[in-house]
Amino acid sequence: MKRPRPRPRPHTRIPLRKRLLVRLLIASVLIAVCSVAATAWLAVTTTTRALREEQGQALADDMDILARLSGYAATHSDWSGVPATVRALSAQTGRRIALTSADRTLIADSAPRGTSLPPRAAATVDPLRTDTSSEPGAQLSGTDPRVVGPYRLTAGERARLDALARKRQSCFLRHGIDTTVSRTPSGRPVLHPTDDAVEGGYVPEPCADGLLNTAMPTEEKALAALQKLARGCLTGAGLDPATPLALGGVVGLGGADLRSPTPSPGFLLKGDGTTTRAAQRCLDDARRAQLDPYVAPVAELFLGGGNSGAAPRWDMSSANKAKVVGAAGLVLAVTVAVTAVVATRLVRPLRALTEAAQQPPELHARVPVTTRDETGILAEAFNDLAERRERLEAQRKALVSDVAHELRSPLTNIRGWLEVTRDGLVEPDPALLAALHEEALVLQRVIDDLCDLADADAGTLRLHREPVPADDLLAQVAAAHRVAADTAGVTLRTGTHGSPWLDADPVRLRQALGNLVTNAVRHTPSGGTVTLSARGDGEQVVLEVADTGTGIAAEDLPQVFERFWRAEKSRSRRTGGSGLGLSIVRHLTAAHGGTAQAASTPGTGSVFTLRLPAARTPRDG
């Protein structure tokens, strides 16, 4: 009747936070979140930086275009030659540039003829009314400093001012102030300090001669005309129209304002701020009227690429935000799904291993091997372990059964004879005592063999190694078994090739060879031969016990060194031995660091070979 398979025990409940699947999911989610956050931060940072750089570059290009065209207007009385400048600027900046008059009459355009203009102008090009917040170099009056008009100095006047500037520069240098000289669009030299620590109003007393600040005849003529133009405005504002004019930023400072921009005309007034501002407004209007014939007419500047001149602004719309959030969520969902699938595939074989390990030991449960990864290798190792455990369990049961059988027979004989002797049915004569003694020797031999095997298994088998000559060892073994061989009608021979020495325990080695000789004599018929031989083989000595007996079948050779194994199951302990001799031979040989092998041909005989470590001969030492 087949025993029902017991139900598997439920596995131990594992806390949710400690499950491998949950930990893998948590780790993957954290990695995904960090990856998405880092990627988003990097993308936003990079995009923001790129946009800022693009904005800055676009703004710088626009300012450069406006400055170049304003400079052209400041130095030309019309726009007749501007198309070449427009095309050059367009090629340099990659922008479309169009210039029209105030009534939208086209003056110049870098785009093909017929291309429509942008919806609105980017800026107005008027050198007399510049944007002081965006035009580099523009003065507070709002007039482009490159508009010179009647204030342009003659060559002679420039030479006189250059000589005065060099003299002034040398004077400053003698007082420890290093300066450089630059020239204004009108041709007037201006000194600039090289050290930012020097205050603009400081002038050493010996250098304040006022000569460099004196207006040249050309400038005096232009200032007189300017004052004439401003007379009506000054009178209307209640100011004295005869108020003298000079080059502002120079007069009253002795030419010492080294950081002053291009000098411009100004009134020498003493009064409150209201009076000064009114006079300045009159002067600005008069100056624009004075310079107007020297500049190009007001024009409108159009820039292509959808840029109206304002700095581009980038803002993430709701749709873009939804796309970013959706992409991040999709990445997170895919990461979680993939992790869940991978983790499930990883956990499934582990659960199978856990369930198999929790089965009762006598079932020797196996698990299916479905992969070739680490879990598959672990499953194979588990199956191999289960198979070895099953095999060891079978050997243990066989050992217990064989030991019981080997001990039961002599004990039964001894008990039976003792009982009949106690009852007076048999007299305790010498023959009975000899039989009982023989049975006791059988028991003693089985127990001694089991003790030797137990010591070998536990690793406590003691060896007393010493150099042993192989020929003496074979002679002692042959002498000990010659009587038994002669009784069985078997010839016992020895043979040694050379003079090999062994590093071995002579007592244990005689025991191993004795077991082999006893086994060979037992299985060799009368008239046969048993031969003991020894020879050297490099660092080993080969000992062989060969017989001309019945031999061993090929399928039985792997089991000859197993405990309680007999080639003929019908043999008793008296004719077949205890079945432990060859197992002891293998353990004793292994304890010496050697190997034991068996070869046989049925009907011809068997050869048992021991390979043991060689020792130096006393002559070599």
The CATH number of whichever domain residue 405 belongs to comes to 1.10.287.130
Place of tokens 């309680």: 564
In a domain, residue 373? The reply is yes
310 pLDDT exceeds 60?
no
Tell which of 307, 323, 358 closes a domain.
358
Please give the average per-residue pLDDT across 286-309, as a whole number: 79
Count of CB atoms situated within 10 Å of the CB of 402: 18
Residue 70 and residue 195 in one domain:
no
In a domain, residue 269? The reply is yes
Residue 113 and residue 153 in one domain:
no
**Looking at residue 8, what is its pLDDT?**
43
Count of CB atoms situated within 10 Å of the CB of 229: 17
Between 225 and 25, name the one with better pLDDT: 225
Residue 16 and residue 108 in one domain:
yes
Q: What are phi and psi of 189, to 5 degrees?
A: -80, 145
In a domain, residue 515? The reply is yes
Mean pLDDT of the chain: 78
Residue 601 and residue 499 in one domain:
yes
Rounded CA-CA distance 368/386 in Å is 13
Please give the average per-residue pLDDT across 476-480, as a whole number: 88
Structure tokens at 127: 């050198």
Q: pLDDT-based confidence at 212, cuts 50/70/90? A: confident
Q: pLDDT-based confidence at 456, cuts 50/70/90? A: low
Between 612 and 49, name the one with better pLDDT: 612
Residue 216 and residue 266 in one domain:
yes
Give burial (CB, 10 Å; 0-12/13-18/19+) of 355. middle
**Looking at residue 9, what is its pLDDT?**
45
Rounded CA-CA distance 31/433 in Å is 87
**Looking at residue 411, what is its pLDDT?**
82
In a domain, residue 621? The reply is no
Residue 495 and residue 604 in one domain:
yes
239 pLDDT exceeds 70?
yes
Residue 409 and residue 431 in one domain:
yes
Residue 354 and residue 406 in one domain:
no
**Looking at residue 576, what is its pLDDT?**
46
- What CATH number should be reported for the domain holding residue 469? 3.30.565.10
Which amino acid does the sequence have at 286?
A: A
Between 379 and 315, name the one with better pLDDT: 379
Contacts of 580 (CB under 8 A, 6+ apart): 446, 449, 450, 453, 563, 564
Q: What would the pLDDT profile of 172-195 be if each residue is shown by its tens digit?
A: 888 888 888 888 888 888 888 887
Residue 585 and residue 559 in one domain:
yes
Strand runs (DSSP E) across 163-248, as ranges?
179-183, 189-193, 245-248
Q: What would the pLDDT profile of 240-288 be if each residue is shown by its tens digit?
A: 777 666 665 333 223 333 333 344 565 555 555 677 777 788 888 888 8
Between 466 and 391, name the one with better pLDDT: 466
147-156, 383-392, 535-544: least confident range: 383-392
Residue 489 and residue 348 in one domain:
no
Range of the domain at 18: 12-139+297-358
**Looking at residue 501, what is its pLDDT?**
92
**Looking at residue 141, what is its pLDDT?**
52
In a domain, residue 522? The reply is yes
In a domain, residue 267? The reply is yes
Tell which of 246, 268, 294 closes a domain.
294
Residue 503 and residue 419 in one domain:
no
CA 249 to chain centre: 66
* Number of domains present in the structure of the chain: 4
In a domain, residue 235? The reply is yes
**Percent of the chain surpassing pLDDT 70:** 77
544 pLDDT exceeds 90?
yes
DSSP 3-state percent helix, strand, coil across the chain (nearest 5)? 50, 15, 35
Tell which of 341, 358, 375 closes a domain.
358
**Looking at residue 577, what is its pLDDT?**
54
In a domain, residue 2? The reply is no
Structure tokens at 566: 């007999």
Look up residue 531 and give its DSSP letter.
E
Strand partners, 493: 531
Residue 477 and residue 605 in one domain:
yes
514 pLDDT exceeds 50?
yes
Look up residue 154 and give its DSSP letter.
P
534 pLDDT exceeds 90?
yes
182-191, 494-503, 527-536, 553-562: least confident range: 553-562
Please give the average per-residue pLDDT across 118-143, as a whole number: 69
Please give the average per-residue pLDDT across 553-559, as a whole number: 81
